[in-house]
Amino acid sequence: MVIVATQTDLFADVSLFPRSVTWEHVISVFTEENYLGALINSFTVTAISLLIVLAFGLSCAYVLARRSFRVPLKKTLLIWILLVRVLPQITFALPLYILMNDVGLLSTKMPIVLAHILVNLPFVIWFMIAFFYHVPEEIEESARMDGASEFTIYYRVVLPLVVPGIAAISILSFMASWNEYLYSVIFIQRPSDFTIPLKLATLNSEQELTEWGKVAGGGLISMMPVLLAAIFMQKHLMNGLTAGAVKE
């Protein structure tokens, strides 16, 4: 209701429906608040971190899920991976800050990308291990007998069989990165590098406490990428989230 109401209606008597419809708040966040820059920053950080997380997470999950790969202390490694996910995010803030400051990357987007990778990588590994477990190893053995290499088996045989899981974990990781606020507050130092959550927080500052129209308009825009991704990948998302719920 706030999104389509005019600034006058926001301070008038409360009504179930707005008395007039306008897009002035959505337009104003772009023309007055550089919201487009925040969108680009969020897309950049989210896309880079998601690609890296999927590349490493899928391959790690495949190796840890297969008996043909002899990984030393596999169970201990899985516990450590889970521990990274279970620990509060603030636990890694100070080490990352010191590391990025020492190498001179604190004023770049690299700390945010690394933080998102750190948060999402254990989640991807543990989520996808269950999917790789359900892929029959006989399929891989047949491919090996035909002369396929391990990478070919992984890329051309196994991955197409776990597409629902990849779609589900991609959307969940995308949402986690897109909405991440803690590391953005800690690492981002310049207004030009603000991401969407941080930009929305500044719209509701002490100086602009009554800018509810801009906050609502910006919130509506921030929802659209995740909403569209969920709609277009709905089939794979539902299959991925419900996989393994019923045993045959």
Radius of gyration, CA atoms only, the chain: 22
Start-end of H helices in the chain:
7-10, 24-31, 35-65, 74-86, 93-102, 110-133, 137-145, 150-152, 163-178, 182-187, 196-203, 212-232, 234-242
pLDDT of residue 208: 54
| CA geometry: angle 90, 104, 179, nearest 5 deg | 35
Tokens 């279970």 — which residue? 86
Q: Are 117 and 53 in contact (CB under 8 A)?
A: yes
Q: 63, 71, 177, 169: which is closest to 123 by C-alpha?
A: 169
pLDDT of residue 246: 42
Structure token pair of residue 88: 């509060």
- CATH class, range 7-242: mainly alpha
pLDDT of residue 48: 95
Average pLDDT, 10 consecutive residues per value, the chain (248 residues): 54 63 78 86 94 94 82 81 83 87 84 90 90 87 86 89 88 90 87 88 65 79 85 68 48
Q: 14, 20, 31: which is closest to 214 by C-alpha?
A: 31
